[in-house]
Structure 1
Amino acid sequence: MAGLLANLRNTVIVSFVLALIIIAGYFMHYGSADAIFWQAVFRWLHVLAGIMWIGLLYYFNFVQIPTMPKIPAELKPGVSKFIAPEALFWFRWAALVTWVMGIILAFDRGYLLQAITLGATEGFKVPQHSFIGLGMWLATIMFFNVWAFIWPAQKIALGLVEADADAKAAAARKAMLFSRTNTLLSIPMLVTMTMNQTIFG
């Protein structure tokens, strides 16, 4: 068992195999691969990627950013050259998968247009669509921030793109501010995602 757990790739493969066995069990008992079944699969993928995305967002904001000033100068390259680029890789791709799975889920459930318009297409008479639409817009802004602002700025700040010291400092501040913006938006976004499913089903 220790040999399996010592290798992350093998651990994740086994975890996915176990998940697929459980999904097969749901399929056997549900008896159909209809829209409801696929909604369940898409919701699982949406939540899985979302945990990775928001977990890394919180790691950056609650751990890495506040801790970096306390790290001795000779140790900082360990974070900026190795840990941060790897974390940013999973961060940005998890954001993309979360957003895509959310769009697919809303489309599959038949409320994508209603959510995008915050319920305007129904005269704002279906609060479920207004609330989930609000959450989807918050998540979309966060997703856009990751790819349009945070990642490009981090490439400069981490030295993955050539820049002078002033440009790196400005880029680091920009990345931090957009990351903090996403932290600010994440909590209300999660309210809409979790309460909507519980209150409206």
Structure 2
Amino acid sequence: MAQPSKPKLDVAVTKPTPYTFDLGLLLANDPNPLSTSVPPPEATADSNIDSSRSALEAQLAATARDGAQALINQLLTTLPLAATTSGVLLTLPKPSTPLPREKPLPAAKPPTKWEQFAARKGIKPKTREQRHAKSRQYNEETGEWERTWGYDKGGAKKRREEGMVQQDWLVEVDEKKDREEKAAKDKKKRRKA
């Protein structure tokens, strides 16, 4: 058995007081009052309560549908459309309705002692470019920029990966002298014991 099809709703929405729109926030304000009165539970039977609540739900759904339809109509009639390969694009304007904050703006923190000193002496923090320029130096042997401090200073990691070892890391040890020093320490320990 075929179910009865729902009637098609009208695309044009008319209200006694027209909507106001903020297309930047995709907002449609409906100033028309809603009748949300539900009879008190003790005055009606249980079946009447269910029917009145379902009527209220239907009224709210119809109002929400009308608001969404009015917003879509406004978007499609006032904003420029652009067709691209990924679909139709709509460019939204900047929002005009200020939204309230949940919490107030935080109070400005008092300056630290260093900030007060820097302000007195006219010291300004270095910019990102100044820090970046000082943190790297050009190595003419390799023809690359290397870090001057921190991780991979002077391209050490790259040299280790290539099998090169810095020359100042290599220290020759005189084995005979090393044995004599160890024997002298052992002899001191035996005297103290």
Same fold (TM over 0.5): no
Name whichever structure is richer in helix by fraction.
1
- Structure possessing the higher radius of gyration over alpha carbons: 2
For Structure 1 versus Structure 2, the TM-score category normalised by the shorter chain is: under 0.3
- Structure with more relative contact order (C-alpha pairs < 8 Å, separation 6 or more): 1
Name whichever structure is richer in strand by fraction.
2
| TM-score using structure 1 length | 0.24
